[in-house]
Structure formats: structure tokens, C-alpha cells
Amino acid sequence: MRWLFFAVLCFVWAGLAQASPFHKGASLQVYTFPAARDGRYEDEPYPDRAGAVAHFQIAQLRGLGLDHVRLPVDVGPLLDDPDGRQWLQFRGPFIALIEQLHRAGLGTIVTLVAPSRAGGVPQDQLDGLGGARFTRYAALAERFAAELAGLHIDALALEPMNEPQEMCVREGDTDWSVYQDALIDRLRAKAPVLWLGLTGGCWSKIEGLRHLKSASLHHSNTFISVHFYDPFLFTHQGTNWTLDIMPLIAGLPYPVHSDRKEAGAAEVRARAAEKAKAMRASEQLVARANAAIDQYFQHDGDSASIRRKLAELDAWCRRNGVAPERVVFTEFGATKSDVDRTSRLHWLRDVSSAIESYGWAWTLWVLRDGPFGLDDAHGQLDPALLRSIGLGRR
């Protein structure tokens, strides 16, 4: 009978939880990549806010069909701020931007990004529940929560840490899930009704949620934050900041057609060989790249692989009593580097429509700029790519 009691309890919890106010959104890179020189942050580390606002044409975002934006904030300069000067300089424009988004009919998900300067990774801040770095980080997160709560905006959320750890669970050390519970408790004390995002390890992938057992899953104002870049070989081909084989991968099609598996794999392996020669890559690196290419063409390069991955999340939600309207894919996207536009269009369409079929929400990474933007070489948003995710001028 225990299983029946648990099932009923999960059903009750799910019924009490509110639906997330976020449905279709996009990330804006206004506070990412703070300026630094010689290992130190510049006196004005964040880009010109007025220029960024004009660039993203905030007044037009609602007309595209978006109801929210996500603002990732690299908090490095705010942590390295003993006299509070950076916070005072940051706070006014930041709050004004959120209020401007609200006036434009857009909600905001604020995501704290651990410092990445000088090769830093998020888990550097996880040095123990009483550690100096985590204590300082948690205090800054509390400051953000208090500021956001003071705005009294319903469609406003805070994610305590972006992609918090590489591994799904930290064996032999304190896992992210423990830190997250501590953060959520502290943030709730500062902001009882503010929306808070919960995420797992493995760079916030679906797999990382398996180890998330927090009671906060069923708080009325929490949502589950997931990142989706699958198949990873397709979404990140040609990039140079992830897996070491990625610079060798180019021209992967999506979807892979059954009659083109062998020929397509041979073509991509040939491109990899050319790139490897130019890079003077080792034979071992080429062999691993070829193995990944073969895996993609034989098993991963179609919509079935996407549906299998999303089915894992659906099963997790059902086991944990998490209602569909409380799941937000806070990042998904595919690079334009070394990939044809049609393949990218098909991937965006398949992923966004599959997410929506479960009743989940999504936030595109990103609308414009960089390798993941939906803009063309002239900085104009591509109408066909917008239509692939159900957006467009209205």
C-alpha cells in the first residue's frame, strides 16, 4: 500500500503547485561575458545596457510570440566586490531592464552564472556548505532574491546557478543537490513567493534530474529547469569550447535519412580527415571523432532519438509528481557553425514541437548573436528559423 499512498501524495502535491508563467522565451546576452583585462575585471565589466536593449529590440519581442526572456548574469564582478561598488553600479540598470521587460508584457528568468574567467567552472563555488566561496555566492544569491521579490512582478524567476556541475552526481563529495537545497531554503526566506528554478547536474541535462530528490520539487513556486542539446554532436559541431573532437565535425545533416547513412557518414569522416590534417590532430583523436560520427548516423541523427530523450524526462516527472506546466527547457539550440540551414531548421522544429507536445515550456538559446543565434550574416532574424519554432511577426 505504500506505493499507493506515495502516488496519491504526488498527485496532491502536483495539484497544489502553480503553473509556471513562462511558455515561450529566448535568452538575451546582456550580462554575460563581463569585460576583463590582465586577469582582472574592468571597472565597467558589463556591456552598455542601453545599447543592448536597443540591439535586442525588446519592444518587438512580444510581437514575435515570446512571453518571457532569460537573463543569464555572470556574477564574477559582483563576487569580486569588497566595497559594494560593482553592485551599486549594476543594480539600477538591471532592475530598470526587468521593469522595462515587464512593461513590454514579458516575464523574466534571471539566471546566476558562476564566474568563468580564467577557466573557472561552476563547481569551483561549491567548496562545502560552510566554505568561503559558497558562503559568498549564497549571500549574493540572497541579495538577488530580495531585489527581485521587491519588484512584485508575478512572471519573475531566479535560477540560483547555471549548469552547476559537470557530473550527474558527485561521488565522495557534497553533491549539487545538497547545495541547491541550502540555496533554495535561503532564497525562500528572502523571497517567499518568487519563482525559483531547480536543476540537476550534468550541465542541467535531463540525466542530472535523476538524482534530484528535493522537497522543493513540490513547492508552489518552483519550476524544473532543463537544458537540451541533443544529439550533442549535431548541436555543437564545429565548435571549439566543448569536446576535443568537435572542431573536426562538420556537415552533419539532420535528420539522417535511412538511405544515406553509409554515404553520409563517409562524407563527414572525409571532412574530419581534412580538418585533422590541417590541425595536425592525433590518430587517436581522429579515431574517436569517426566513432562519434558513426554513432550519430546509425543511432542518433533523427527525431526518434530526441523523442527517446524527452520520454526519459516525462517518466521522471510522472515518478516525482511534477506537472508538465512546471517544466521549462531554459536552454535549447543548435549552432550555425559548419551546418546547413535546412538541417538546423528541422532540428529546431522537431525539438520545440516535441517539447510542446508534453505541455512543457521552452526558452531558446539564443535569439540573436553568436553561433546559436537565429540571425543571419546581416544581423536580421531569419523568418524561416523563427517559423520553425512557431514564432514570427504578428
Per-residue pLDDT of the chain (394 residues; tens, 9 = 90+): 444 443 444 444 444 457 899 999 999 999 999 998 888 899 999 977 778 778 888 989 999 999 999 999 999 999 989 899 999 999 999 999 999 999 999 999 999 999 988 788 999 999 999 999 999 999 999 999 999 999 999 999 999 999 999 999 999 999 999 999 999 999 999 999 999 999 999 999 999 999 888 888 888 899 999 999 999 999 999 999 999 999 999 999 999 999 999 999 999 999 999 999 999 999 999 999 999 999 999 999 999 999 999 999 999 999 999 999 999 999 999 999 889 999 999 999 999 999 999 999 999 999 998 999 999 888 899 999 999 999 996 5
Q: Would you call 253 helix, strand, or coil by DSSP?
A: coil
Beta bridge mates, 363? 25
Give, as one character, the DSSP assignment of residue 381: B
Look up residue 343 and give its three cell numbers.
538541417
Write down the pLDDT at residue 379. Answer: 86
> Do the beta carbons of residue 65 and residue 392 sit within 8 Å?
yes
Of the candidates 349, 376, 373, 293, the residue with the CA atom closest to the CA atom of residue 29:
373
Q: Would you call 111 helix, strand, or coil by DSSP?
A: strand
> Do the beta carbons of residue 55 and residue 98 sit within 8 Å?
no
Write down the pLDDT at residue 6. Answer: 38
Look up residue 31 and give its three cell numbers.
550580462
Q: Is the peptide bond before 34 cis (omega within 30 degrees of 0)?
A: no
Write down the pLDDT at residue 394. Answer: 53
The 10 Å Cβ neighbour count of residue 240 is 10
Write down the pLDDT at residue 1. Answer: 46
| Residue limits of CATH 3.20.20.80 in the chain | 2-231+310-388
194 φ, ψ (degrees, to nearest 5): -70, 140
Q: Is the peptide bond before 255 cis (omega within 30 degrees of 0)?
A: yes
The 10 Å Cβ neighbour count of residue 242 is 14
CATH (one of 3.30.420.40, 3.40.47.10, 3.20.20.80, 3.40.50.300) for 2-231+310-388: 3.20.20.80
Write down the pLDDT at residue 229. Answer: 98
Q: Would you call 313 helix, strand, or coil by DSSP?
A: helix
> Do the beta carbons of residue 344 and residue 38 sit within 8 Å?
no
